[in-house]
Amino acid sequence: MSETTMPTVEAGAFREAMSHLASSVHLVTSDGPGGRAGFTASSVCSVSDAPPTLLVCINRTSSAYAAVSGNAVLCVNTLSGEQAGIAGAFGGRTPMDERFAAAAWGELATGAPVLEGALAAFDCRIVARHAVGSHDVLFCEVVDLSEPGGGEGLVYAGRRYHTLPVSSPASPAPARKTDGLLGAL
Ligand SMILES: NC(=O)c1ccc[n+]([C@@H]2O[C@H](COP(=O)([O-])OP(=O)(O)OC[C@H]3O[C@@H](n4cnc5c(N)ncnc54)[C@H](O)[C@@H]3O)[C@@H](O)[C@H]2O)c1
Ligand SMILES: Cc1cc2c(cc1C)N(C[C@H](O)[C@H](O)[C@H](O)COP(=O)(O)O)c1[nH]c(=O)[nH]c(=O)c1N2
């Protein structure tokens, strides 16, 4: 089938289908000459472990875009099951200062804000970026890590938040049946 006759998918249908994917939820934060900013993200994934690299997709219309781009560093704070509230605050329409006032923060190597109580924090420098449609795909080399936590992770699926046991090596999560998340997908 040639490119001209290939069918296209309507954005709403794509989003409806994508709402069936379960993803971890993260706060992507940045600070530096471009200012402090952050947004809730689910489009995060591991790329390579040599060197350790992950990717983040950011909408160029996001209010955090200029700061993240200008600073060229960011931290991916992977949220725990109790942090759905802060995910909502960073999910848009909240002034940036109010977002950061809602939690306690530290920092690692780059100075990007590190969320206290996050399951994990990946402190990164942006090493490459690729514009695709409405988003930039940011390729980020991980230069520092927080001590991973344990307990439950925050997951987004079916347009709502769920929690899922995530055991840390030190303390495996107690065996228990899932909370029905897999059945809800
Ligand atoms: N990757 C993203 O940019 C992304 C991901 C999740 C949610 N969101 C935004 O969060 C808000 C709440 O979303 P929702 O899950 O309640 O319902 P929704 O119907 O807007 O989105 C359903 C799913 O479609 C995908 N999606 C939505 N907007 C997208 C975009 N602009 N680019 C790429 N993928 C997109 C996501 O996987 C999302 O979970 C919406 O404004 C949505 O645009 C954006
Ligand atoms: C669960 C969930 C997951 C995501 C988002 C939202 C929510 C609720 N948003 C949207 C993002 O957080 C925010 O809404 C937009 O950037 C608009 O925010 P501003 O009002 O411009 O700061 C989002 N945006 C983005 O650019 N990449 C992403 O991966 C995601 N993922």
pTM for the whole structure: 0.91
Ligand 2 center–CA 56 separation, angstroms: 11
Nearest ligand to residue 38 Cα: 2
CB of 59 shorter than 6 A to ligand 1: yes
For residue 166, pLDDT over 50 is answered with yes
Domain boundary assignment for the chain:
22-165
Ligand 1 center–CA 34 separation, angstroms: 26
Instruction: Write down the pLDDT at residue 171.
Output: 52
Nearest CA owner, ligand 1 atom 10:
91
CB of 168 shorter than 6 A to ligand 2: no
Residue 2 pLDDT grade (very low, low, confident, very high; cuts 50, 70, 90): confident
Please give the CATH architecture assigned to the domain spanning 22-165.
Answer: Roll (2.30)
> Read out DSSP for 58-124?
EETTSTTHHHHHHH-EEEEEEPBTT-HHHHHHTTSSS-HHHHHHTS-EEE-SS--EEETT-SEEEEE
Residue 5 pLDDT grade (very low, low, confident, very high; cuts 50, 70, 90): confident
Determine which of 2-11, 40-49, 148-157 has the lowest per-residue pLDDT on average. Answer: 2-11
Q: What share of the chain is helix, strand, coil (3-state, %, to 5)?
A: 20, 40, 40
For residue 28, pLDDT over 70 is answered with yes
Ligand 2 center–CA 43 separation, angstroms: 9
Question: Shortest CA distance to 28 belongs to which of 50, 92, 6?
Answer: 92
Across 151-157, average pLDDT: 96
Average pLDDT, the chain: 91
**Dist CA 50 CA 162 (whole Å):** 32
**Dist CA 178 CA 183 (whole Å):** 9
Q: What is the ipTM of this complex?
A: 0.97
Across 9-23, average pLDDT: 98
Nearest ligand to residue 93 Cα: 2
Residue 150 pLDDT grade (very low, low, confident, very high; cuts 50, 70, 90): confident
CB of 94 shorter than 6 A to ligand 2: no
Ligand 1 center–CA 170 separation, angstroms: 35
Nearest CA owner, ligand 2 atom 25:
58
Question: Shortest CA distance to 149 belongs to which of 102, 88, 86, 79?
Answer: 79
CB of 68 shorter than 6 A to ligand 2: no
For residue 113, pLDDT over 70 is answered with yes
